[in-house]
Every structure is written in structure tokens, then in C-alpha cells.
């Protein structure tokens, strides 16, 4: 599912079938949908890569991979838009798959100090705890992908668990927002600059337990100041953003 793979191709196939009515496209789209459903773990999460190893087998929120699959399957379940050709059996399978995915989201939300907070970029498929991926992606809480998760939860029928999950995440976003600074990326580097008029920003990664922004270079060592990591990683990764502002 990394880099928008598979679900993007399924969408294109469904669109082509709607345009042409050529059954080759609908058959291929259905194969892809069934593949994604079969790829899902029994706990409701999706790995980045099917039957892989290392961090690719983690439940992957990074780059909104799992959520984008769920958004598509939600459309399949409703036979919405280009997916109007889907039969009731596959629509029901997709509906159940999305429901399981929501349970995985609720079960992976990190609790700290007795309070619901946010999610990691990826979670261990067995323990459900935030897990590491590339050397500069350590177990942590992430502001970016957690926003997309909350946006999806807001499309679900409300119940006590979902309402509590959304509130917990939004309270956490408010708690960890950074004011009085702006983030600039230019010329292969980035920095944070004091600016009393700047809109709030958030760090990409927060240390679990302390909620301190953290930064990691290719040495894998956690630092607490962006300036302390190597230039290549400072410029090659979005360390701050305004993601929660759209909530």
C-alpha cells in the first residue's frame, strides 16, 4: 500500500470500467479489492506490504496508507461513484473490513497517563504498540497521520468509543501545539524560527510519555533540536507541519 499503491490502481480500473463497460476492468478491480480485504490482519490492521518482513509487516498509518484503503473500501461498501458495479457480497465484505479497521484504529490509539492521545506512524501487528520503521522513524506519536485518522473517525456513526477517541486525539493536538515559531524548508535544509505572529505548528514526531518533539538522523539517535541532526535529513523530511489546524 506504500506510495498510494494498489488502491490507486483499483480506483483507475473502476473508472475505466464505468467509461467503457469493458469487463476486463471490473474483473481486475474486483480482484484488487478482494486482495486488499484478504491482506487485512485478523485484528483489523493492514500491513504496508503483503506477507513481507521487517517494518513492512507493521500496521501502517504512515503516508495515510491504511486510511486510504479504508476510504476506498467504504466507497465499495456503499457502491458509491465508480464502484456502483460491485455486487452485494463484495459490498458486505468491504463493509465488514472497514468495521474491523475501525476497531484496529481504536485499539492502537496510545494511552498516556490514563488519557487517549494519538497514533504512531506504524504499530506492531501483535502488540499493537507504536513500532520503528526506517532508522530515523522510531516508536513515537505522529501529528500528521493522526489527523487523517481522526478525519476518518469523524465519518463513522458516533458511539461512545469513537467519540472518546476523537476527543482524546483533539485534546492531545491542543496540548502539544507549538506557538511563537514558524518552520521553513529551503535549499535542501530546514529550520524553525521564532515568530510571535506565526500560526500554530506541530512536530512530526513526539516522544511517548514526555510529548517532547523529537528528531532523528541517519544515525538513529534521538535528538530534541532539529538543528542537531544531519542536513540531509533536516531537508529531506517534513519535521513540522500544520496538519491538525484543519480539524
Residues of the chain with pLDDT under 50: none
Is residue 149 within 8 A of residue 123, CB to CB? The reply is no
Taking the model in full, what pTM does it have?
Answer: 0.95
CA-nearest of 101, 83, 95, 100 to 32 is 83
Give me the pLDDT at residue 97, please: 98
Give me the pLDDT at residue 102, please: 98
Is residue 183 within 8 A of residue 201, CB to CB? The reply is yes
Give me the pLDDT at residue 217, please: 95
Is residue 116 within 8 A of residue 130, CB to CB? The reply is no
Catalytic positions, written as ranges: 3, 134
Give me the pLDDT at residue 119, please: 98
Is residue 108 within 8 A of residue 128, CB to CB? The reply is yes
Pairing of strands 189-194, 202-203: unpaired
- pLDDT tens by residue, 127-149: 999 999 999 999 999 999 999 99
**What is the rounded distance in angstroms from the CA atom of residue 106 to the CA atom of residue 100?**
10
Which three cell numbers, joined as nine digits, stand for 141? 506519536
Amino acid at each position: 500500500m506504500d506510495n498510494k499503491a494498489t488502491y490507486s490502481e483499483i480506483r483507475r480500473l473502476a473508472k475505466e470500467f464505468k467509461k467503457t463497460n469493458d469487463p476486463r476492468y471490473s474483473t481486475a478491480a474486483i480482484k484488487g479489492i478482494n486482495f486488499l480485504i484478504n491482506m487485512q490482519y485478523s485484528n483489523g490492521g493492514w500491513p504496508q506490504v503483503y506477507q513481507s518482513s521487517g517494518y513492512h509487516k507493521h500496521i501502517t498509518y504512515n503516508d495515510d496508507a491504511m486510511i486510504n484503503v479504508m476510504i476506498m473500501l467504504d466507497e465499495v461498501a456503499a457502491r458509491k461513484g465508480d464502484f456502483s458495479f460491485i455486487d452485494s457480497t463484495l459490498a458486505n465484505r468491504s463493509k465488514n473490513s472497514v468495521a474491523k479497521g475501525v476497531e484496529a484504529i481504536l485499539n492502537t490509539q496510545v494511552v498516556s497517563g490514563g488519557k487517549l492521545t494519538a497514533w504512531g506512524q506504524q504499530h506492531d501487528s501483535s502488540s499493537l504498540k507504536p513500532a520503528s520503521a526506517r532508522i530515523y522513524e522510531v516508536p513515537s506519536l505522529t501529528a500528521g497521520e493522526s489527523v487523517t485518522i481522526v478525519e476518518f473517525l469523524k465519518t463513522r456513526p458516533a458511539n461512545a468509543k469513537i467519540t472518546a477517541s476523537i476527543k482524546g486525539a483533539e485534546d492531545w493536538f491542543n496540548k502539544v501545539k507549538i506557538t511563537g515559531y514558524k518552520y521553513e524548508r529551503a535549499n535542501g535544509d530546514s529550520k524553525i524560527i521564532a515568530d510571535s505572529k506565526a500560526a500554530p505548528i506541530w512536530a512530526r514526531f513526539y516522544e511517548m510519555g514526555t510529548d517532547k518533539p523529537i528528531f532523528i538522523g541517519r544515525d538513529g539517535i534521538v535528538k530534541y533540536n532539529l538543528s542537531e541532526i544531519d542536513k540531509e535529513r533536516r531537508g529531506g523530511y517534513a519535521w513540522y507541519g500544520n496538519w491538525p489546524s484543519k480539524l
